[in-house]
A and B are shown apart, each in its own frame.
Chain A
Amino acid sequence: MSKKQKLVVIGNGMAPGRMLEHLFDISPDMYDVTIFNAEPRVNYNRLMLSPVLSGEKAYEDIITHDDAWYDDNHITLHKSAKVAQIDRVAKTVTSQNGITAAYDKLVIATGSNPFVIPLPGHDLEGVLTYRDLDDVAKMLEAAKTGGRAVVIGGGLLGLEAAAGLKMQGMDVTVLHLMPTLMERQLDVAAGYLLEKAFVDLGVDVITEANSKQIIGVNGKVSKIILDDGTEIDAAIVVMAVGIRPSLELAKSAGLETNRGVVVSDDMRTSDPDIFALGECAEHRGMCYGLVAPLYEMGKTIAAELSGQSSAYTGSVTATKLKVTGIDLYSAGDFAEGDDREEIVLRDAQAGVYKRLVLQNNIIIGAVLYGETSDGPWFFDLLKKKSNISEMRDTLIFGQAYQGGAPLDPMAAVAALPDDAEICGCNGICKSKITGAIAEKGLTTLDGVRAHTKASASCGTCTGLVEQLLALTLGDAYDPAAVQPMCGCTDLGHNDVRRLIKAKELKSIPAVLQELEWHTSCGCAKCRPALNYYLICDWPDEYADDYQSRFINERVHANIQKDGTYSVVPRMWGGMTSAKELRAIADVVDKFNIPAVKVTGGQRIDMLGISKEDLPAVWSDLGDAGFISGQAYAKGLRTVKTCVGTDWCRFGTQDSTGFGIRIEKFMWGSWTPAKVKMAVSGCPRNCSEATCKDVGIICVDSGYEIHFAGAAGLDIKPTQVLCSAKTEDETLEIIVALVQMYREQGHYLERIYKWAKRIGVEEIRRQIVDDHGKRKAYFDRFVFSQKFAQIDPWSERVSGKDKHEFNPIATLNLEAAE
């Protein structure tokens, strides 16, 4: 076996991550790779920090390479290891925490540092920057206590930070030095529209604002003062005023630096064994701050490292702002000039502004606001320097208007040339995507992401990629593979749940409006799901929408095939008494109930009751002390028990009493799907606890807590979550577990499916290991029970929803023929 060469990479950001993927593609076995990362984590998608900040995504969603990827590729990753020194003579690097690694080839990819304006007070606690996950964590922490966030800088980063902090419930002020926002990417008109959009979001924007001083109290930020004397209270100050390539390390190693680490077209620094990559590199006088060029640089380095020769020749870039609800695209150069012409389209009502800047019939700049779907097409014409004189009159209306093609987005995508760029971040053209779909037999968006990287970075080209899937596969493309909640939306359950929280949506109409439902009032699939999510997330504020509930939950009984209903009262833990049985017998006689059955859930079912009779049946049952057994609910059903220490010669704990206690504590709560529990007094397990959503097996030393079982459509034995010593501790754990499921489960997803999706380890981590989290889940459950433990039967006996049970009119007319 030939000895592998040693490749060391400093920095574990987006650029080297991509470079390594290319390298392993071309020469999988050429190098032993060691990475040093100052951040304590794996490689994640930095572009997506803003959705994490706003709550639309979680950190787990934005990981690019998980730990397994490093293992699989035999990479040594040193986390939290900032390289302090490069010794070019010995060809080693050494980190601050004392790790030394030797290299044959070295890649410096240290990215940039956020620039901090050295105002008085800039070092106070609460002055933050916006660059990595730790910054986001600090902002989220600050948002918990509320107050005002002042963001200095109205560029891309500052605005994304402002929108995110606003969505987290802070008051936000943006201070911008220039007269209009994002002046480097936008012209004045678009800057104005953007400012208006932010003001509509509830963000204060102050332009031409020159910050003078940050004032602190006890070492912590309290306000900021501007040159003109304006004072603004501030709980935090976020500086987003620009970045500086991080080059100190290269400089101290004696490499040639200027604004960045200087590289030539082969991406080598002044030392031929050392490459510089990403935001820290300066190529032909340019330092880039967007990923597309960095990925191209990465490709060149991968080729060079493999012994091929390759050249990077620079990039033109385009920008999109990733703030939900604001569509903005800009590319190229749009300053005015004598030799330049422009085409402008405005539609004030629709809030659309588009401007193209032309020079000699070639597009050199484009600004799109409000409607950006033609951005990639304009950008393509710009990059190719296409002569547009033939379509000049209709150019601004976009691609769909050209060549008499119909105004159909599919036709527009079909008409794109094969080399048209679809994914700007990753430089992926149309033919590469359609080719991969055909060759690899891809049928889903995730498949395309995995094989081509298209739509895997900032995600704004997702729509185009999906159209390509539809176009290539025809009917074989099933967009359901991306699993939207239902036909009314493109969003999946996870996104919807997160957005309900993040945007504080508190009614079904608010969800439909803000999340851009395609239908005017949802459907029978999404409405019950949304109703549940809203009840779960805002127990004290949301008003249950009965018209969005399935009939059983609306009338609190189970509909039968002939349109009659069945009624199942609670029998706590399966225990009953002569008095209860007598009351049931009386009700059955009085209302001529045709069938009485013992259910599989240890209680009694009365079947065949007409809807009109329900309130009277409940009234009589209520008089005997019964409440609804919720045999119809996506909620707690039964807690089955066995006779335990009360009677059984093997019983180790009071399984009956504990089952009753659990049922009394947890009844009434709505859950994503039904929840069934059981408590068995010993491992003989007579209450079948090991196939329940949550099951408890009593043992001599305490309680074994099981969960994620099923015995319906699927048969699944439970898994053991943990053991507990006391009833109190057990109750806290299972309540916290159910609350975690309530907050994360998809509607109609039983606990065992949710657990499979989330991972038992993660559930254990949050519920068993992290006592603080467990307590918080428990408390939230208890809080929501205040609004849930109202017996629906007695409510209806006293007149609620009367209309449900009576006809609007009773006629006795001959039907006309």
Chain B
Amino acid sequence: MNALTENWVTIGDISDIPVRGARCVKNGETSIAVFRTADDQIFALEDKCPHNNGPLSQGIVHDGCVTCPLHNWVIALKDGTAQGADEGQTKSYPIKLDGETILLSLTANR
């Protein structure tokens, strides 16, 4: 399958995620963190911090970023890149809303 033909799966409703919070989607061994920001945008990142695999889903969400709970790296929700002086990137996944319903694609962005 190529990156243009996404394979969307329904994972739940936006109201299942607290505002400025996250929930996880488990897929086998992989855990994907789905974030909801203050302005109801949603993002999906692999639940692993580029620093030391900290669970990003457990961090504090602010503006378009999440602060990792283990050592406070700040990761951009839109593409998983570490902010500030830190370097690294977490995999991100395409995600969209159909009304209230959240659709996720398991084809990680490059």
Chain B's interface size range is: 35 or more
Which of chain B's residues have a CB closer than 8 A to the CB of A551? 58-59, 69
How far is A388 from B55 in the complex, measured between Cα atoms in Å?
Answer: 62
Closest 8 CB pairs of A and B: A524-B67, A808-B23, A809-B11, A551-B58, A524-B60, A547-B20, A816-B107, A811-B27
Whether A810 contacts B63 by the Cβ 8 Å rule is no
Which of chain B's residues have a CB closer than 8 A to the CB of A756? none
CB neighbors of B among A792-817 (8 A): 803, 807-813, 815-817
- Tell me the smallest distance from the CB of B86 to a CB of chain A, in Å: 14
How far is A519 from B60 in the complex, measured between Cα atoms in Å?
Answer: 15
Which of chain B's residues have a CB closer than 8 A to the CB of A520? 38-39, 63
Residue A563 is within 8 A (CB to CB) of chain B in the complex = yes
Would A522 and B1 be within 8 Å (CB), given that A803-B18, A807-B23 are in contact?
no
Whether B27 contacts A803 by the Cβ 8 Å rule is no
Whether B58 contacts A816 by the Cβ 8 Å rule is no
Whether B19 contacts A547 by the Cβ 8 Å rule is yes
Interface string of A553-574 (1 = CB under 8 A from B): 0110001010100000000000
- Tell me the smallest distance from the CB of A562 to a CB of chain B, in Å: 8
Whether A523 contacts B67 by the Cβ 8 Å rule is yes
Whether B26 contacts A548 by the Cβ 8 Å rule is no
How far is A555 from B22 in the complex, measured between Cα atoms in Å?
Answer: 13
CB neighbors of A among B59-90 (8 A): 59-63, 67, 69-70, 72, 74
Would A524 and B16 be within 8 Å (CB), given that A809-B11, A809-B25, A815-B30 are in contact?
no
Q: List 9 A-B contacts (CB under 8 A).
A: A521-B62, A522-B62, A527-B62, A548-B60, A807-B31, A809-B11, A810-B26, A813-B106, A816-B1
- Tell me the smallest distance from the CB of B24 to a CB of chain A, in Å: 5
- Tell me the smallest distance from the CB of B7 to a CB of chain A, in Å: 6
Residue A401 is within 8 A (CB to CB) of chain B in the complex = no
Interface string of A244-274 (1 = CB under 8 A from B): 0000000000000000000000000000000
In the complex, which residue of chain A has the Cβ closest to the Cβ of B48?
Answer: A563
Would A811 and B1 be within 8 Å (CB), given that A547-B19, A547-B20, A547-B61 are in contact?
no
Which of chain A's residues have a CB closer than 8 A to the CB of B1? 816-817
How far is A563 from B106 in the complex, measured between Cα atoms in Å?
Answer: 23
Which of chain B's residues have a CB closer than 8 A to the CB of A521? 20, 37-38, 62-63
Partner of B54, one of A546, A563, A816: A563
How far is A71 from B95 in the complex, measured between Cα atoms in Å?
Answer: 70
Which of chain A's residues have a CB closer than 8 A to the CB of B59? 524, 551
Would A546 and B18 be within 8 Å (CB), given that A528-B60, A816-B7 are in contact?
yes
Which of chain A's residues have a CB closer than 8 A to the CB of B26? 807, 809-811
CB neighbors of A among B1-32 (8 A): 1, 7, 9, 11-12, 16-21, 23-28, 30-31
Whether B38 contacts A559 by the Cβ 8 Å rule is no
Would A519 and B63 be within 8 Å (CB), given that A807-B26, A816-B1 are in contact?
yes
Which of chain B's residues have a CB closer than 8 A to the CB of A563? 53-55, 58
In the complex, which residue of chain A has the Cβ closest to the Cβ of B66?
Answer: A524
How far is A554 from B105 in the complex, measured between Cα atoms in Å?
Answer: 29
Which of chain A's residues have a CB closer than 8 A to the CB of B63? 519-521, 523
Which of chain A's residues have a CB closer than 8 A to the CB of B28? 811-812
Interface string of A504-521 (1 = CB under 8 A from B): 000000000000000111
Residue A312 is within 8 A (CB to CB) of chain B in the complex = no
How far is A173 from B107 in the complex, measured between Cα atoms in Å?
Answer: 65
Would A811 and B25 be within 8 Å (CB), given that A559-B69, A561-B52 are in contact?
yes
Would A808 and B60 be within 8 Å (CB), given that A521-B38, A816-B106 are in contact?
no
In the complex, which residue of chain B has the Cβ closest to the Cβ of A811?
Answer: B27
Partner of B58, one of A527, A559, A807: A559
Residue B97 is within 8 A (CB to CB) of chain A in the complex = no
Which of chain B's residues have a CB closer than 8 A to the CB of A550? 60, 69
Which of chain B's residues have a CB closer than 8 A to the CB of A810? 25-27
Greatest chain B CB density within 10 A among A551, A803, A817 is at A551
How far is A199 from B39 in the complex, measured between Cα atoms in Å?
Answer: 32
How far is A815 from B109 in the complex, measured between Cα atoms in Å?
Answer: 12
Which of chain A's residues have a CB closer than 8 A to the CB of B74? 524
How far is A733 from B74 in the complex, measured between Cα atoms in Å?
Answer: 42
- Tell me the smallest distance from the CB of A485 to a CB of chain B, in Å: 14
Whether B70 contacts A808 by the Cβ 8 Å rule is no
Would A547 and B52 be within 8 Å (CB), given that A523-B67, A807-B25, A812-B27 are in contact?
no
Q: How many residues of A contact B (CB 8 A)?
A: 30
- Tell me the smallest distance from the CB of B80 to a CB of chain A, in Å: 16
Which of chain B's residues have a CB closer than 8 A to the CB of A809? 9, 11-12, 25-26
Could you tell me the dominant secondary structure of chain A's interface residues? loop
- Tell me the smallest distance from the CB of B49 to a CB of chain A, in Å: 10
Whether A808 contacts B108 by the Cβ 8 Å rule is no
Which of chain A's residues have a CB closer than 8 A to the CB of B27? 810-813, 815
Residue B34 is within 8 A (CB to CB) of chain A in the complex = yes
Partner of A519, one of B20, B53, B55, B62: B62
- Tell me the smallest distance from the CB of B106 to a CB of chain A, in Å: 5
In the complex, which residue of chain A has the Cβ closest to the Cβ of B13?
Answer: A808
Whether B67 contacts A808 by the Cβ 8 Å rule is no
- Tell me the smallest distance from the CB of A414 to a CB of chain B, in Å: 28
In the complex, which residue of chain B has the Cβ closest to the Cβ of A809?
Answer: B11
Interface string of A536-553 (1 = CB under 8 A from B): 000000000011111100
Interface string of A457-468 (1 = CB under 8 A from B): 000000000000
How far is A561 from B39 in the complex, measured between Cα atoms in Å?
Answer: 31
In the complex, which residue of chain B has the Cβ closest to the Cβ of A519?
Answer: B63
- Tell me the smallest distance from the CB of B91 to a CB of chain A, in Å: 10
Which of chain B's residues have a CB closer than 8 A to the CB of A523? 60, 62-63, 67
- Tell me the smallest distance from the CB of A508 to a CB of chain B, in Å: 10
How far is A521 from B64 in the complex, measured between Cα atoms in Å?
Answer: 10
| Apart from A548-B20, A807-B31, A812-B27, 9 more pairs, CB < 8 Å | A519-B63, A524-B59, A524-B72, A551-B59, A563-B53, A809-B9, A811-B25, A811-B28, A817-B107
Which of chain B's residues have a CB closer than 8 A to the CB of A807? 23-26, 31
- Tell me the smallest distance from the CB of A817 to a CB of chain B, in Å: 7
Which of chain B's residues have a CB closer than 8 A to the CB of A547? 18-21, 60-61
Which of chain A's residues have a CB closer than 8 A to the CB of B37? 521
How far is A546 from B20 in the complex, measured between Cα atoms in Å?
Answer: 10
Whether A527 contacts B24 by the Cβ 8 Å rule is no
Which of chain A's residues have a CB closer than 8 A to the CB of B106? 811, 813, 815-816
How far is A203 from B5 in the complex, measured between Cα atoms in Å?
Answer: 62
In the complex, which residue of chain A has the Cβ closest to the Cβ of B61?
Answer: A547
- Tell me the smallest distance from the CB of A564 to a CB of chain B, in Å: 10
Which of chain A's residues have a CB closer than 8 A to the CB of B62? 519, 521-524, 527
- Tell me the smallest distance from the CB of B72 to a CB of chain A, in Å: 7
How far is A547 from B25 in the complex, measured between Cα atoms in Å?
Answer: 19
How far is A185 from B58 in the complex, measured between Cα atoms in Å?
Answer: 55
How far is A803 from B39 in the complex, measured between Cα atoms in Å?
Answer: 20
Which of chain B's residues have a CB closer than 8 A to the CB of A522? 62
Which of chain B's residues have a CB closer than 8 A to the CB of A812? 27-28
Which of chain A's residues have a CB closer than 8 A to the CB of B21? 546-547
In the complex, which residue of chain A has the Cβ closest to the Cβ of B12?
Answer: A808
Which of chain B's residues have a CB closer than 8 A to the CB of A549? 60
Which of chain B's residues have a CB closer than 8 A to the CB of A811? 9, 11, 25-28, 106
How far is A363 from B107 in the complex, measured between Cα atoms in Å?
Answer: 66
How far is A811 from B69 in the complex, measured between Cα atoms in Å?
Answer: 25
Whether A808 contacts B55 by the Cβ 8 Å rule is no
Greatest chain B CB density within 10 A among A551, A808, A810 is at A808
In the complex, which residue of chain B has the Cβ closest to the Cβ of A810?
Answer: B26
In the complex, which residue of chain A has the Cβ closest to the Cβ of B16?
Answer: A808
In the complex, which residue of chain A has the Cβ closest to the Cβ of B105?
Answer: A816
In the complex, which residue of chain B has the Cβ closest to the Cβ of A524?
Answer: B67
- Tell me the smallest distance from the CB of A167 to a CB of chain B, in Å: 28
- Tell me the smallest distance from the CB of A525 to a CB of chain B, in Å: 8
Which of chain A's residues have a CB closer than 8 A to the CB of B70? 559, 561
Which of chain B's residues have a CB closer than 8 A to the CB of A813? 9, 27, 106
